[in-house]
Amino acid sequence: MAHSMTPDLLDTWPAWQQVWARVANAPLEAQIDAWATDYMALYPTLFAKQVADYASAGLDWRAVARERVFPHLAARTPRMIAAHQAILRCHSDLTWCFRERLGADFTFLFVVYVGLECGAGWATMYEGLPACLLGLEAIANLGWESEDQIQGLIAHELGHLAHMVWRERAGVSTLEESEAEPLFRLYSEGLASRAEQVIRGQDTQHLEDQDGEWLAWCRTHESWLAGEYLRRVDAGADVRDFFGSWFAIAGHSQTGYYLGHQVVQVLERQVPTLRALAVWPAEQVRQRVRAILQEMATPNYSAATIPSGEGGHPRTTISP
């Protein structure tokens, strides 16, 4: 299927292959040095964003590379190759769906790279353009190599990208800064999960097939997850166990994406479109998310019991 609005694609994988061919059998420190000086030196903005991301968390990027990334690169290379091929096959069609089904009307960039596991996907600004950064090493770590999984990941990040641009245009709080607040982050991840479904035209999410029990466990423990999330927010405790592949809560990782999706399903009843929900002021987001979590954490919770507010709307489907 040919499309006229294909976004720009910065594919750094060929450059990494050339570097890796020289250092695949070299000592670990030499591999890290080559990644930084021979590969990332070609993309200084990309390198700076990763270093800054870890620095903001008080972590040294080289320690992360040494302990979590480079010891596994050789084993994960076949998955990186498969993921790279899947991205090239599907990104254009997904962009068309993004524009047609979500109403996205802005120029953006895909950046495909091998990095430090800052995320399988990262919606951000890159050299003045909204961009979806796709980290092959993080995708491989998650075991995502099928085209269906890659499509879900890309659609999710495109949802974040639309959210970011829409908020900027509306003059409300910026997405990346607001996500530092846990109630807002839950809403942000939930909105991206719903956008993923709208873009792909289906009700499933790419996280649902990470193992056979994840979705069932989340559904069974939904009220507990809501209560635990709210407890941590009120205590000023870290909620990172709910997000990311390195962390887990009760043995299950990334449960915050499920919880956020459930919250946004309730919020959708108050708006005509996802775009309208995307530009809520941050304080309104925090108040409503807190109220929904409190309801979810009660015994015998049902989403139907939560008032949608005057002028509520049904859940959106395939229209923005």
The two most distant CA atoms of the chain are separated, in Å, by 64
Same domain, 139 and 186: no
The domain boundary residue, chosen from 121, 155, 171: 171
Same domain, 4 and 85: yes
pLDDT, residue 182, reads 96
Angstrom distances, CA of residue 301 to CA of 220, 222, 296: 12, 9, 5
pLDDT, residue 209, reads 52
Same domain, 162 and 187: no
Number of structural domains the chain divides into: 2
pLDDT, residue 121, reads 94
Same domain, 34 and 153: yes
Residue 271: HSE in the Cβ half-sphere, 13 Å Cα cutoff: 20
In angstroms, rounded to a whole number, what is the distance separating the alpha carbons of residues 152 and 235? 34
Tell the burial category of 276 from Cβ atoms under 10 Å away from its Cβ (0-12, 13-18, 19+).
middle
pLDDT, residue 246, reads 61
The domain boundary residue, chosen from 171, 201, 228: 171
Q: Closest by alpha carbon to 141, among 112, 114, 180? A: 114
Same domain, 33 and 88: yes
pLDDT, residue 216, reads 86
Which residue segment(s) compose the domain that 67 sits in?
1-171
Same domain, 161 and 178: no
Which position has the token pair 């080289």?
62
Same domain, 214 and 144: no
List of the chain residues with pLDDT < 50: 1-6, 303-320
Same domain, 270 and 150: no
Same domain, 45 and 109: yes
Same domain, 186 and 167: no
Sequence-distant (≥ 6) Cβ neighbours of residue 226 within 8 angstroms? 259, 293, 294, 296, 297, 301
Q: Closest by alpha carbon to 5, among 84, 104, 79, 71? A: 104
Backbone angles phi, psi at 309, to 5 degrees: 90, 160
Which position has the token pair 């040294």?
60
Same domain, 177 and 167: no
Same domain, 20 and 37: yes
pLDDT, residue 308, reads 38
pLDDT, residue 299, reads 73
The domain boundary residue, chosen from 109, 143, 171: 171
